[in-house]
Structure 1
């Protein structure tokens, strides 16, 4: 016969109501193991059933089962966010400990479920540092468990809320010791950045480094510390210059180096000049990346102003050559010179603006109350997930935004992080970036034409000398012989047309379609405005039933595919949601792999990698037929881009719902 326990497991609210109304059961009944209906409803993620049982008098903090745990703890073990919210909102106590000494915060960390942890950390019971670092029966705090599990997101959340990195357990082990046990570089890195004691000793006298050596995780430990500027022994690495001096030297070095390279090609024949220039370029790169910057620090080059210095130095040399030569020695080219002057000024000014303007950061909560209200608002609407909440910023995430790991902020209408302007490209500086790219393309094209007219008007006929080594056509040999410095400068500038033209065309198309580079690259994987967002309330309801059905389906599919396993040995790692070793078509040590890695690095530098990685190609195909709620036609789309949302009447930094 049906019981209230089986009805709670299935989420059969009608049967539960009938059993209680006919006095055949009560909401506080217990089975032979001391488990209540509320326990069964909680572990099976039946939110409505939990509400019904509570309204009918269920003891919300009743303890039962082998672990003598509460319904809230059962839900926390499985990461059932909305069940936890229902129980907490009706007064469930998250500080109760089960038979193992774990409270709800410990169990939530054990589940590695991010949003349940976000919710729980807003609860008043964990507002103080002492409650946040509440130990279990062996003295392990939630931060220690997160570090031991290698759960970097949970570590980050706990640290952001004030968890103590210096706390030690019954054996004297600190969170850093436990992170070393797991060997997770990201956890070690975050703890080191927060000020963890790298010389702390457990009761056996071992520091985290000693433990890393013993557990053979010293490589991860050393690399993690190196990523954030520490030596293996815990000493902070020193830098030759301060932050501002380093930035200034980086800005100046490419400009001086390009002048030296152009002069080298002007003075020496090509067979000695080109190798020497390559050496000079390598020297410039070595000085910046190995001397001025810390080569061991994580992404030190991408986070620096190196690429901004390269493009700035190149623009200055082009402007210098035009001012010193072309404007005086190209008679009859007044309009072309005017066009170049306008392009040059627009390019320089908009590069400066794109690099210095705030890209459009999404607002962060100003205090703890605002942060709690944000989480409460989202959880009440059933929208506390990765699409609507940024864990790193601990703030509500606007539509079309993305958290940039370089800027460490959510950027509204995020396009990409551009190393050439050393800034994110978002709603507030995308216009300046586009004008910069467009004026750069026009300026280089105009400069090339003026250089051609300069040589036609001023270079004498080329007469090869006996010692001449030029193997190019006579016209080019004459130009290099007459002014090799200008010719080298023109070649370097023209080289930039290869990627800037592609970038200009791609961004113009995207703007006309009301899309960003990020959205195009993600369209093939998630669909428009989709993503790995986490669970909504509807998707978590009846979780156990859905999982059982999925397992049955997978077992049938696996059985059907078993006989065909040898037909296709390819692996689509992206469709599986992760990377597998067998999906690689090359060995990492091969020449092909090295060339592929170099190509990917170049694409990432010029900002075209988002069009090539993952399923970006499928996204480009889908873009023409995707349902884009922001697409209002080319004219309105361009107006919206130029007015930063005013054409649609939106403020992208605070856009949380699709405008009607």
Structure 2
């Protein structure tokens, strides 16, 4: 999720009958259409001094001067006796016009001269804080709240500032209001909470997930229809919001004033996707399904269960291929039957959260059968210690560094809720509540080189990438273990490939030079289908291991970059804004990069730089190259 810029960019709204943005989401209109700025002559201006050269503003009235932020003209008129509280003919005060156009200095001046901070005005009878919220001016919202503005006041439509911020998707303002103490479940005049509004009016996962992150109640009911947020998501056909609510534990059996459950409403609307999601959730939570209940109770053992299933699938595949039957039709039927059974088990018993562990289970099961194959099939042909000891060291190093990569963790960034609120308030009041600085999902200030992982749904210090084969992120704490794991896994597949070639040379009576390619391949397959199957696994795993290992070594030691940073720079290169892959403040040269990465001292000959990337927010360390380089 990206937030719009909340800086001091001026957006002028001209005095005509649609001077306030009107709520039209139910018709699906865009924000630009909602604002209905028909008078294009008075467009936004960046600097009022530029306008002064084009037109003499000495004759402007105070409304126009306020809109354009001509503070000298405004002061002149106020000192001449203009009442700062007097509204214009449309009942709009000067403070309203200054707030909607983000005129910070003018607001400070008007308040000092006695402006009413919560003065009502305009067609919607709203306050300046409402106007600033609709426009998404976070700095103005902060200023008005400091001067005593009340965010709980409602406009003519019954919306508080929180509801307006959600309606127009100004998430920085939502976060700031909640951090300042506004109740996230405050209802509007119709009894709808902000979460209900998000689920019913804004198609997509955001801001529903964001509000849930702020602890909005997923089972609250409105006053009129007694609908929960889940009911509203069903009515609007908002599949993404519905999924977020179900993930948060929303009650699928709640009944509204008409006696309808969310599933009943979905069946009336005949939305197949929503019906399927609700049915799955209902069955999953049903007390009568003993098997599903047992499987859910063993959720913490999902990795072991997936590993055992992968071990069984690899063995069954190899066993079918190794059958003495010469009927390829029979083997084909067995292969298809096995594939169908696997698909049935995955769809029926494996949740979406568990899918990410399937590559990990496949890798570990493949290593298991490689080791078994080595000791049963290859060991008799290569009993010498020159072969067995290196292989044993390789597999031991592979298992050890896999364990270290998994257990060390990448460096997830998590803070208590109280600290989250303090961070939001501090950044907002410093006008720095920006997605480059603040994570909208974790509600934390992001250190340098960190990034939010969408799979783990957490921020990671010095984020490199999310590795499918490890089912975990690679970051500041475990990257060196990951590189070591890749190296030892690479040596394992090399030894397995060598063992396969030795086995074929000793047990297969054919050769490429003697019989040609086709006969050579058919003889190899018929000689030992299990060895061929294991060799295919070796080839598959060696391909991605080799790529990842070389890529990690090149990026880490030569460029001093993470994978995420390199991808970002490559994208910028296509737009012509790249500063060069090697010119960055994190590249200290190959030797020093190596020393820093492994934190090795070499008996005092080397001095590694120790940087805690979980708390490094500024570039206050040595930068031998390209000061000011930024990753966006």
TM-score (norm 1): 0.74
Deviation at 1:153, TM superposition (A): 2.8
Match of 1:514 in 2: 560
Match of 2:236 in 1: 182
Match of 1:568 in 2: none
Match of 2:422 in 1: 373
Distance 2:111 2:611 in 1: 42
Gaps of 5+ in 2: 1-58, 601-606, 622-632
Answer yes or no: is 1:54 the counterpart of 2:119: no
Aligned 8 A contact 1:362 1:398 in 2: no
Aligned match for 1:250, one of 306, 313, 318: 306
Secondary structure at the counterpart of residue 413 of structure 2? coil
Match of 1:13 in 2: 71
Aligned 8 A contact 2:220 2:228 in 1: yes
Per-residue CA distance 1:330-380 (angstroms, 9 max, x = gap)? 26x64444332222211122222223332210132x243x22211122113
Aligned 8 A contact 2:462 2:476 in 1: yes
Aligned 8 A contact 2:133 2:164 in 1: yes
Secondary structure at the counterpart of residue 268 of structure 1? coil
Per-residue CA distance 1:300-332 (angstroms, 9 max, x = gap)? 422xx322121111112222232334344226x
Match of 1:560 in 2: none
Map 1:226-245 → 2, pairs under 5 A: 229-231=281-283, 238=292, 241=295, 242-245=298-301
Q: Which structure's relative contact order is higher, taking Cα pairs within 8 Å and 6+ residues apart?
A: 1
Answer yes or no: is 1:436 the counterpart of 2:485: yes
Answer yes or no: is 1:88 the counterpart of 2:139: no
Secondary structure at the counterpart of residue 403 of structure 1? strand
Aligned 8 A contact 2:405 2:481 in 1: yes
Distance 1:317 1:233 in 2: 37
Aligned 8 A contact 1:404 1:417 in 2: yes
Per-residue CA distance 1:489-528 (angstroms, 9 max, x = gap)? 2332123222222222222222231222223333344x4x
Distance 2:319 2:187 in 1: 68
Match of 2:550 in 1: 505
Map 1:163-178 → 2, pairs under 5 A: 163-164=216-217, 165-178=219-232
Match of 2:604 in 1: none
Answer yes or no: is 1:631 the counterpart of 2:592: no
Match of 1:572 in 2: none
Distance 2:234 2:196 in 1: 11
TM-score (norm 2): 0.78
Aligned match for 1:491, one of 524, 530, 536: 536
Relative to structure 1, the CA distance from residue 454 to residue 394 in structure 2 (aligned partners, 3 Å threshold; closer, same or farther) is: same
Match of 1:448 in 2: 497
Aligned 8 A contact 1:198 1:207 in 2: yes
Answer yes or no: is 1:389 the counterpart of 2:446: no
Distance 1:176 1:292 in 2: 25
Distance 2:194 2:286 in 1: 25
Deviation at 1:460, TM superposition (A): 6.9
Over aligned residues, Cα RMSD in angstroms? 3.3
Relative to structure 1, the CA distance from residue 284 to residue 430 in structure 2 (aligned partners, 3 Å threshold; closer, same or farther) is: farther
Relative to structure 1, the CA distance from residue 648 to residue 54 in structure 2 (aligned partners, 3 Å threshold; closer, same or farther) is: farther
Per-residue CA distance 1:186-215 (angstroms, 9 max, x = gap)? 211222333433333333333333333444
Aligned 8 A contact 1:520 1:623 in 2: no
Per-residue CA distance 1:67-103 (angstroms, 9 max, x = gap)? 2211101111122111111111222111122223222
Distance 1:418 1:430 in 2: 11
Distance 1:382 1:471 in 2: 73
Relative to structure 1, the CA distance from residue 244 to residue 174 in structure 2 (aligned partners, 3 Å threshold; closer, same or farther) is: closer
Aligned match for 1:338, one of 365, 384, 389: 389
Match of 1:286 in 2: 343
Distance 2:394 2:615 in 1: 34
Distance 2:455 2:81 in 1: 61
Q: How many residues align?
A: 547
Match of 1:155 in 2: 208
Aligned match for 1:459, one of 507, 511, 514: 507
Match of 1:585 in 2: none
Deviation at 1:40, TM superposition (A): 0.7
Per-residue CA distance 1:544-568 (angstroms, 9 max, x = gap)? xxxxxxxxxxxxxxxxxxxxxxxxx
Distance 1:484 1:619 in 2: 51
Distance 1:64 1:491 in 2: 74
Deviation at 1:44, TM superposition (A): 0.9
Secondary structure at the counterpart of residue 652 of structure 1? coil
Match of 1:657 in 2: 618
Relative to structure 1, the CA distance from residue 78 to residue 453 in structure 2 (aligned partners, 3 Å threshold; closer, same or farther) is: same
Deviation at 1:289, TM superposition (A): 1.3
Secondary structure at the counterpart of residue 410 of structure 1? strand
Per-residue CA distance 1:132-189 (angstroms, 9 max, x = gap)? 3333222222222122113633333333334332322223333222222221112112
Aligned 8 A contact 1:416 1:426 in 2: yes
Match of 1:608 in 2: none
Secondary structure at the counterpart of residue 144 of structure 1? helix
Aligned 8 A contact 1:264 1:276 in 2: no
Distance 2:473 2:491 in 1: 24
User: Mean Cα displacement is larger for which, 483-492 or 7-16?
Assistant: 483-492
